Structure 1
Amino acid sequence: MAWNTFPYQDNAYVYTPASLEKAWARLHLGDAELFPSDPALVQAWIAFHAGDFEQAAKLGLAVGVDGYSVAHKATCIYATYLEVDDKAKIATFEAVAERCERQQHEQPDNPAGFYWHAYSLGRYAQGISVLKALSQGVGGKVHDSLEKTLELAPRHADAHIAFGAFHAEIIDKVGAMVGGLSYGVRKDQGFKHFKTALSLNPESAIGHIEYANALVMLDGKKKMAEAIGLYEEAAGCDARDAMERLDVEAAKEELKD
């Protein structure tokens, strides 16, 4: 079955190999990816940034393990924002997590295999319920993969965002005491990760969104004004590719509620 298409065609975010290389540092502040030397992977990333996530995943997987990073990202962003079938979404995240484990074995120094492992398992947990996922041991796997990501790439802003969300989700579901004893999570540590992420990538719409979500989750009405401010900043970010556009549109939806 074909994947759903990127819905915002008013701006196609089309890059050439030359323009992509020029824009690369800005586009990849979040994930610390290096510009690929393989022309086939350049084409895969061009497809990703344009919102052709299915083509990006296919091109990446065709290269083999060196193409897993773009395939992981394309698949996860698609499943997060554009897949409407809940069962398909959960199955997709499970498949990415399994593929990440293969990448970790073959490329133990590549942070992408660990980051997308944590991301896919985190989204899987949200899909089946965080408490159920914790009983399956998912929490420890997410924590360990995020730690490894930051060990390999300390400036990986997206991993800091994910770690902030991890602290918030655990505390929200099991409480600060149990969360601290069982998973080592602390509210102040989670907020520190968000602030680090935004210092590394100030234009990250998803960073602002996840920080706002955490404030609402953990502090409720006390931090509602601050959270709304973060959503507004996210909604005002200048999207440079399809993924960023999806993040910005998600922030706009939050402000409608």
Structure 2
Amino acid sequence: MHLTFDWSTTLRRVRGRTSFVPDAVASAGTRCGWKRFPFGDRIYRYGGDALATNWARLHAGDAEPYPDVAALGRLVRANPALGARVPDLAAAARDVEEAWRAYHAGDFAEAVDRGEAAGPVGTVVAARAAIVYATHLEEDEMRRAAILRDTVDACSVLVELAPNWANAWFVNGLAIGRYCQHVPLVRSLARGLGGKSREALQRALQLEPGHADAHAGLGIYCTEVIDKVGAMVAALTYGVKKETAIEHFEAARALNPRSPTTLVEYARALMLAGGAASLGRAHALFAEAAACQPLDAQARLDVEWARAELAA
């Protein structure tokens, strides 16, 4: 499959959607084929009040408010275009809560289903589930790229409807960044996708300065550019330096110091852009990530990634 991406055409196409979940994951039949979370069926279940009780720890990286009626009401008031698409805040809150519960447990297909049921206020959790599934569990490269491409489409609609929602911008930037990892980066930069990723992540930080995951995302962006085009071209053409990537990763660590996701991405960045002198530091970060106690399915996947790197 030869994937191309025309941002203007995509925006025109996706504006007409009634679904706010990526096409590649919108089919129940397609999601029936998704791989199951491989490290236990019930280990990260947050039933009943447990989700609310653990919410602050689970969302230390993205500062997403707990999705109760009051929080969704504030979200709609801050983004009036959402209002017409959320006729029942109570029902939407239940669906978003269940979507997050499924996401943290590793039921990524169910998280997409429940996110879709909630309407656009469920796009963030649905997109997060699709991205984690595509990144960690989908083995077919074509399907992976299709899921990520269509997640970009869905998130581009969301930021139009919710321009004041930090995590709408974050998932938009994250989806673009992950998609760019699976197409030639020079081509994606030429089409403006790399710049869109950086702009979205920067916007998330403007809206939520304590957004650790957005800092990590910008670190990943800088690293990918340096890796693909070289340090000199990255600095002169795209304004990207290794030092900037490190600054973002260090900011992410300061805000959320026990995140295995940040630790493994930081280690990978050092291996890609830091040269041989950074290998010892990367190994130490992988070891730190491997020693983390994961709080949910995504964290467990990243801990296992770290352990695999150490064993290699």
- Using the size of structure 1 for normalisation, the TM-score is 0.96
1:86 aligns with 2:141: yes
1:228 aligns with 2:259: no
Contact 1:117 1:145 in 2 (8 A): yes
Q: How far is the alpha carbon of 1:219 from its aligned partner?
A: 2.3
Q: How far is the alpha carbon of 1:131 from its aligned partner?
A: 2.3
Partner residue of 2:107 out of 52, 65, 88:
52
**CA-to-partner distance for each residue in 1:88-140, whole Å, 9 max, x for gaps?**
11111111111111111111111222111111111111112222322222111
Which residue of structure 1 lines up, in the alignment, with residue 43 of structure 2? 12
Which residue of structure 1 lines up, in the alignment, with residue 9 of structure 2? none
1:123 aligns with 2:178: yes
Which residue of structure 2 lines up, in the alignment, with residue 170 of structure 1? 225
Contact 1:235 1:251 in 2 (8 A): yes
Contact 1:17 1:43 in 2 (8 A): no
Which residue of structure 1 lines up, in the alignment, with residue 267 of structure 2? 212
**CA-to-partner distance for each residue in 1:40-81, whole Å, 9 max, x for gaps?**
211111111111010011101111011111111111111111
Which amino acid counterpart does residue 100 of structure 1 have in structure 2? C
Which residue of structure 2 lines up, in the alignment, with residue 23 of structure 1? 54
Which amino acid counterpart does residue 7 of structure 1 have in structure 2? P
Which amino acid counterpart does residue 231 of structure 1 have in structure 2? F
Distance 2:236 2:57 in 1: 38
Contact 2:242 2:274 in 1 (8 A): no
Matches within 5 A, 1:60-99: 60-99=115-154
Distance 1:184 1:150 in 2: 18
Distance 1:53 1:12 in 2: 15
Distance 2:41 2:115 in 1: 26
Identity of matched residues, % = 40
Q: In structure 1, the residue corresponding to 2:302 is in which secondary structure?
A: helix
**Pairs aligned (count):** 257
Distance 1:217 1:131 in 2: 16
Distance 1:136 1:192 in 2: 27
1:242 aligns with 2:273: no
- Cα 1:40–1:10 change in 2 (3 A) is closer
Which amino acid counterpart does residue 30 of structure 1 have in structure 2? G
Partner residue of 1:142 out of 191, 197, 207:
197
Farther-moved stretch of structure 1 (202-211 vs 215-224): 215-224
**Which structure 1 residue ranges, 5 or more long, are not aligned?**
none
RMSD: 1.3
- Using the size of structure 2 for normalisation, the TM-score is 0.80
